[in-house]
A and B are shown apart, each in its own frame.
Chain A
Amino acid sequence: MSLRIVVCVKYVPDATGDRHFADDLTVDRDDVDGLLSELDEYAVEQALQIAGEADDAEVTVLTVGPEDARDALRKALSMGADEAVHVEDDGLHGTDVLGTSLVLAKAIEKTGYDLVVCGMASTDGTMGVLPAMLSERLGVPQVTLLSEVSVEGGTVKGRRDGDAASEQLEASLPAVVSVTDQSGEARYPSFKGIMAAKKKPVETLDLEDLDIEADTVGLAGSWTAVDSAAQRPARTAGTIVKDEGDGGKQLAEFLVSQKFI
């Protein structure tokens, strides 16, 4: 049985860079290098492992993002994905999560799928809600926040380690899965993988291809509005002491002065 897997990957500003907002209060993408969200590497890894276990499987990576987002697709292709879909349209600038989930759902339906694999959250918006939204929009089960996942005979199984309990979950395909960074280290692209990626197909789609009305996405079509973004004032420099044998006692004095003891 063939298995069609679509992996959602997001192109994000490097978290170790100086991230900030642009004048229109969207993420400034010009000043900071972008990359494949590290948490989506885990999604690509699990998709490749699931594909490896299947008789016949195909892994498509999908992103919604600006031109540079192609870098994220290339990285995923060099890890071993078979092909890529890039939804790119000027009208998408500033799209919020309702809009992004709409675009992704339409692109996934167009591509065709048995399994959608996402990361647990992006490293920029960090909402952690998009997989659930995709499940709602596609009308298929969500099997999310998994630290362990497997697919066998049309069923996806996984372990979700929640706040209060660890749960074993099960659903029939088609389904939407999201995996955590506990699911297993992601592989590094090999030189061969990087060379091969250059020849793999990347399909580009725009809003018209997906039959999406321009006024349901982008800044104008957003369901949410950011009114202001202010840099948090730098913390005032704290007191730093060197332990000369009484560091613990000095720290205790500080905690007393702050009424913690």
Chain B
Amino acid sequence: MAEVLVYVDHVDGAVRKPTLELLTLARRIGEPVAVALGAGAADTAATLAEHGAVKVLTAEAAEFADYLVVPKVDALQAAYDAVSPAAVLLPSSAEAKEIAARLAVRIGSGLITDAVDLEAGDGGPVATQSAFAAAFTTKTRVSTGTPVITVKPNSAPVEPAAAAGTVEALSVSFGAAATGTKVVSRTPRESTGRPELTEAAIVVSGGRGVNGAENFAVIEALADSLGAAVGASRAAVDAGWYPHSNQVGQTGKSVSPQLYVASGISGAIQHRAGMQTSKTIVAINKDAEAPIFDLVDYGVVGDLFDVVPQLTEEVKTRKG
């Protein structure tokens, strides 16, 4: 069976959920060979094996953290040369998309980004993409070279499937370009203890209607009652009420949760671009004409400061 390279997104050996989803998709088109790079790479092996990786290629080197993107491209290319895969799959994070882009140029292959589904086809994998703020669904193939495809989070279920997960050290020689862009310093983002926005099953977002940084406590309380991540519109972020890392939309994160709750958000096209593929959409807005109501499964026309706290109380009571 053909091998499929899967680029592993992990934090010090803890594999992030989108990578496990990639393994589900990879198994539809071949045998997953995972590539894990940087500190803790080998620690990913057990989890990857439980999710179908037949092999885990690992490399640790200071270059991966000290320089931007290119060292990881060198390593992925080394894995590509060693395996000759039928496809290369990566998560659709900003960094992984850049890695995919450079690899595609190097190996002379077509690139598909932000796939939301993947199936085996006669002429290689067929990707589903969402276009124009999710107004269209397209089916796309790579017609030249080895398909390089990045996949959005929440595009496939995580399915355990035991495999060997044999760990092998990958030998990487860094090219001259690898040290071109130095990472001079790195300030990790403080963890809020809430789920990661792009991976969360439920996202609760606030917009300009929240009207102040301190009022976001109302949104956070609802999120915490539901075990959800907190999102924000660009208007709320630009006003300085919530960090940019929580922005949902075209220039923020693109989310596709089971449930999206929008409060005080009008539903501008750029916001919709980041949340329109959510399974169930709920909105609270005092303007009955707000375009967000065109998208909702359930909408409440009302003041969020009345509706959201009442909802939070109900959720808490019902969950006991």
Contacts and interface: CB of A to CB of B under 8 A. Distances in A.
A139 B177 contact: yes
Q: Is the interface of B mostly helix, strand, loop or mixed?
A: mixed
Contacts of B315: 252, 255, 261
B319 A261 contact: yes
Nearest to A129: B101
Interface in A143-176: 143-145, 147, 157, 160-172, 175
B293 interface: yes
Interface string A88-131: 00000000111001000000000000000000110110111111
A249 interface: yes
Interface string B267-282: 0011001000000111
B62 interface: no
B111 A222 contact: no
A20 interface: yes
Interface in B89-106: 93-95, 97-98, 100-102, 104-106
Nearest to B259: A260
Contacts of B142: 223-225
Contact of B300 (A120, A225, A250): A250
B182 A163 contact: no
Interface string B177-194: 100111111111100000
B136 to A, nearest CB: 5
Nearest to A139: B177
A164 B69 CA distance: 15
A169 B245 contact: no
B212 to A, nearest CB: 20
Given A20-B136, A101-B105, A243-B301, A224 B185 contact: no
26 contacts: A19-B135, A20-B132, A20-B136, A97-B101, A101-B105, A121-B251, A123-B250, A127-B111, A132-B69, A136-B73, A145-B94, A166-B186, A167-B68, A170-B182, A171-B180, A223-B111, A223-B143, A229-B137, A230-B137, A235-B297, A238-B293, A238-B298, A248-B306, A251-B307, A251-B314, A254-B297
